[in-house]
Homo-oligomer: A and B are copies of this chain.
Amino acid sequence: MTQKHPDRVDESLIALRRILRATELYARDLAQAAGVTPAQLRVLQIVGEKKDPTAKTLATQMGVSQATVTALVDKLVARGLVTRLTSAQDRRQTNITLTTEGEDVLEEAPDALQQRYVRAFADLADWEQAQLVSSLERVAAMLNVDSLDAAPVLATGELRMSKKSY
């Protein structure tokens, strides 16, 4: 502690917030351009990434309840973007799969933000790329993502320091 540059933590937090804000704001425009709501697009994206996830998987990944996933999938099914498929192994489970139309929506989502990022990343020097990856992974680790995933409860009553001490 007692670093030479105590304001660096603020600078990093500000940069982080800018990143978060940019991505959040863009997600809405992207969804609108794709013709679905943001939450629905998130479902499509996860279904596209993972292999025919179950409703449970979707709920966990998105951090919402199963009831919410049911409602979202209902909408997507009604629009013909995904289909429900009862699992053969465990017939309680429902696998969500993309239809051809659903794949089209995903493909045509003009992910300008990511494209811009990837282009800018490609223009960096090799060592700069390595540094960026290292830093981002370090931040992710500092946020302790895994333990948060495992224990979403710890939000409450945790040691809190008031404003000035973060």
Contacts and interface: CB of A to CB of B under 8 A. Distances in A.
A135 B126 contact: no
B135 A131 contact: yes
Contacts of A144: 22, 116
Nearest to A112: B158
Contacts of A49: 160-161
Interface in A1-24: 1, 3-5, 8-9, 11-13, 15-16, 18-24
A67 interface: no
A25 B22 CA distance: 17
Interface residues of A, number: 80
Contact of A8 (B19, B107, B133, B148): B133
A51 interface: no
A155 interface: yes
Secondary structure at the A interface, as helix, strand, loop or mixed, is: helix
Interface stretch (A26-34, A73-81, A83-91, A94-102): A26-34
A71 interface: no
A149 B113 CA distance: 12
Given A12-B136, A116-B142, A121-B142, A126 B3 contact: yes
12 contacts: A9-B118, A13-B114, A13-B118, A22-B144, A22-B148, A22-B155, A23-B157, A25-B155, A30-B155, A33-B156, A108-B160, A112-B155
Interface of A: 1, 3-5, 8-9, 11-13, 15-16, 18-30, 32-33, 41-42, 45, 48-49, 63, 106-118, 120-122, 126, 129-140, 142-145, 148-149, 152-163, 166
